[in-house]
Amino acid sequence: MKSLAPHNLTILWSLAPFLTTAVAFTPSDDSDLVSYVTLPNHRTIKWNITHYDPQSRAPGYWFVAPYWVTAGEPYTTRWMPYQIGPQIFDQDAELVWTGTEFTDNQNAFDLRVVENSDKPLLSLIIQTGIGLDLENANGTVLNNNYEVVGSIPVNDKHEFYVYAPGKALTIYHRQKVVDLAEIGLPGVSRLVKFQGFRDVDYMTAEVVFEWDSEGKISLGESYRSVEMGPPDDAADYIHANSVEKTTDGDYLLSCRHTNTIYFISGRDGRIVWRLGGKRNSFEKDFIFSKQHDARIIRQTSERMVISFLDNGADELSDDETVSSAMIVELDLVAYTATLLNRYFRPDGELTRRRGSTQLLPNNNLFVSWSDYGYISEFDHDGRLLMEARFASDRFGNYRAYKYPWTAQPTEPPTLVASVRGTELSDLTTEFHVSWNGATEVKSWRFRARANATSEDVEIGMIPKKGFESTFVAKGYMDWVSVEAVDGKGETLDISSVIRSDPPKYWPEGVEMPQADDPVVLLAPGPQELRPANLLVVGIFAVSLAVGSIIWLCMGLFRYRYRRAYSWVLGGEGEGEDSL
């Protein structure tokens, strides 16, 4: 790895004036959202996206979970579309799966692919009540049919990381009233939130290992004023936001209110070293603060390479002028820390909360800057390949990831069919089809029947395009269905047979049309001769006539020639006989 050269930084920053930005939304205006005929009760995210080098992007889908407010919203009897929760998009920002109905329009966080399983799995946190700390939530695992295979209660939105089959890491906290003598305020009591993590079995909820900050991270390490705040509001003095387990069974914990990344022994819970903060263990050539999402990229007994988001600011203060993603190498013998790569936020702004970094298999870096879903992808050397964000500032997003993903829902494809036209001669049937969450569909094959009991007849086939594909067939097609076909031409699933909606604007007083028989309608009729064909036929006819005349003339000529020749031979014959 190498550091991002200064001239590259200039290139990234110079792009800022040309970037698309999220605009303010109007509650009564949904132009920043996408609707589908096959999902009438949903509105999904619309993106603004810019590709700079599509060929250099890593393959995969985007995994996000838009929300309005992190504390959640109370249930309401008012109708509203499904719009917040887990969603998957392709690299062109086309919807692949919306799980907003599955999560019942409640907040979801940390949607990602489980990479250590022999079967494709998803993990996410689903909020089940209102609360700033998500006192009511579940860490949930889904298979690639989008079915729940495991779920446990969690009380923090920051992490549900499935690190091994059946095992997950979660952030948790407990509250306790303590004396503030250690920060020079003896006799002053304060409710303090002691955060930590749990290593759990997500099938049984058994806690394998538990750790919290009490007695291990002092109140004095915090950059927040512990003594300030309402008495009933516990002091959030470390604010843990990510945890990862090493192959040796130790843990890497990121805490943004101490500006520190901690390495914690999985045997006795002691803090082995600190990167950053007031008790930093390393001599380093970089600074960072308010960081998120510390992840281990590579590790040996003597060295470790990690990535994290250097927010450089929070809601109260700015330490830097622009946020960045960092990749650093730690020498665990000499205790030195070296910056390998740094990727600045392309629009030159600060991410004051949340965010994530992800090193992709081809060494590209995928970064979530959190604000309004802002994401970007860089190549290894820091060249910006893509950036995208929500079309408005209506929603935020905690983390975003990019992964390959293969899935097939248990529910069949969804089909909607409507007949259009005002006369029998101009009737057409319009089809809309989608299959929420399916990734392997390459084409759609449409079928219709003459009546409820007749055989299906294929009426057309089209390539799949985007989340929802449209097909128009001639005539009044009814008792229709659609077949999902993969790249090998094999059937993946078939929709239910449905009735087409009759024409909406049929003339009043005129009997409604009846369904066409697709066998009759699609049967080949008499072939009409096109002008080009008529020309060929004409030339052939003329040629035939001319040829016939020539043949007749030649025949007459031969006949007369033989007669004349015979007469001549007759005279000569008499002379020959006299010899």
412: number of Cβ within 10 Å: 16
Q: Where exactly does CATH 2.130.10 map onto the chain?
A: 33-403
Distance CA 259, CA 515 (A): 70
pLDDT at 135: 64
pLDDT at 155: 86
- Read off the tokens for 473: 């067939």
* 556 SS3 class: helix
Strand-strand pairing, 356-359 and 365-368:
antiparallel
The values of phi and psi at residue 73, to 5°, are -125, 150
CATH code given to domain 33-403: 2.130.10
Distance CA 457, CA 477 (A): 10
Per-residue pLDDT tens listing for the chain (579 residues): 443 433 333 333 333 333 445 667 677 788 999 999 999 999 999 999 999 999 999 999 999 999 988 877 777 788 889 999 999 999 999 999 999 999 999 999 999 999 988 899 999 999 987 655 556 799 999 999 999 999 999 988 899 999 999 999 999 999 999 999 999 999 999 999 999 999 999 999 999 999 999 999 999 999 999 998 888 899 999 999 999 999 999 999 999 999 999 999 999 999 999 999 999 999 999 999 999 999 999 999 999 999 999 999 999 999 999 999 999 999 999 999 999 999 999 999 999 999 999 999 999 999 999 999 999 999 999 999 999 999 999 999 999 999 999 999 999 999 999 999 999 989 999 999 999 999 999 999 999 999 999 999 999 999 999 999 999 999 999 999 999 999 999 999 999 999 999 999 898 888 899 999 999 998 876 544 344 344 444 555 555 555 555 555 555 555 454 544 444 334 434 333 333
Q: Where exactly does CATH 2.60.40 map onto the chain?
A: 414-522
Distance CA 455, CA 449 (A): 6
Question: What's the whole-model pTM score?
Answer: 0.86
Distance CA 436, CA 142 (A): 15
Distance CA 438, CA 435 (A): 6
3-state secondary structure string across 151-204: EEEECCCCCEEEEECCEEEEEEEEEEEEEEHHHCEEEEEEEEEEEEEEEEECCC
CATH class of the domain at 414-522 = mainly beta
Nearest CA to 170 out of 186, 149, 156 is that of 156
